[in-house]
A = this chain, B = another copy of it.
Amino acid sequence: LQYQAGIYRIANWSDITNAHPIPGEGIIKGLAEVGIPKQRGLLLLAEMSSKGNLCSSNYAQETYEMAKRNRNFVFGFIGQRRLTNAQGVEEVDFIYMTPGVGLHSSSDSLGQQYRTPQQVIEESGCDVIIVGRGIYASLSEGNLDQVVQKAEEYRKKAWDSYLRRISPSL
């Protein structure tokens, strides 16, 4: 109901939505009933970046299996690394988008933990970085130029990390 209706009517304008798999596969099937007719896609939250989170390796594994069974709607994950089956084989080239990214490894008072673009893209094999405070924090200081500059810095660091991953000789 939140995806289809409510005040936001998310499915009407959002190409990509993410969902926690914790309720079980029914959450995918329920969202798919609304999203597939509108040609939308879903990312599953396989792992989180906050300290002490309860996404165990078994949780990520079950999420991966759920995604494989629902490829008509699920095309990737919110996570911290590329996933494989229990035998360590990457069976599907899913998309991986990664939050908790900063220019330096660090953490905040509520347990958010930051990893660098290089760690996320080059070492852990993720595809897209999701950056929040690293970019918009300068806004509160009224410094719009710095927001733009920070965004560009993150973009370049992530892209360079990606090039290094796919061409290790660089």
8 A–B contact pairs at CB < 8 A? A22-B22, A22-B55, A23-B50, A24-B48, A24-B53, A26-B52, A27-B50, A30-B110
Bound-complex Cα distance A110 to B53 (A): 27
In contact, B62 and A29 (Cβ under 8 angstroms): no
Task: Say yes or no: A50-B62 contact (C-beta < 8 A), given A7-B7, A20-B20.
Answer: no
Extra inter-chain contacts (11) besides given A24-B50, A24-B51, CB under 8 Å: A7-B7, A22-B53, A22-B55, A23-B48, A24-B52, A25-B51, A25-B111, A26-B110, A26-B112, A54-B63, A56-B59
In contact, B59 and A29 (Cβ under 8 angstroms): no
A21 located at the interface, meaning its Cβ lies under 8 Å from any Cβ of chain B in the complex: yes
Give chain B nearest CB distance to A47 CB in angstroms.
Answer: 10
Q: State how many copies of this chain the complex holds.
A: 2
Chain A interfacial positions (CB closer than 8 Å to B): 7, 20-27, 29-30, 48, 50-56, 58-59, 62-63, 110-112
In contact, B59 and A54 (Cβ under 8 angstroms): yes
Bound-complex Cα distance A54 to B62 (A): 8
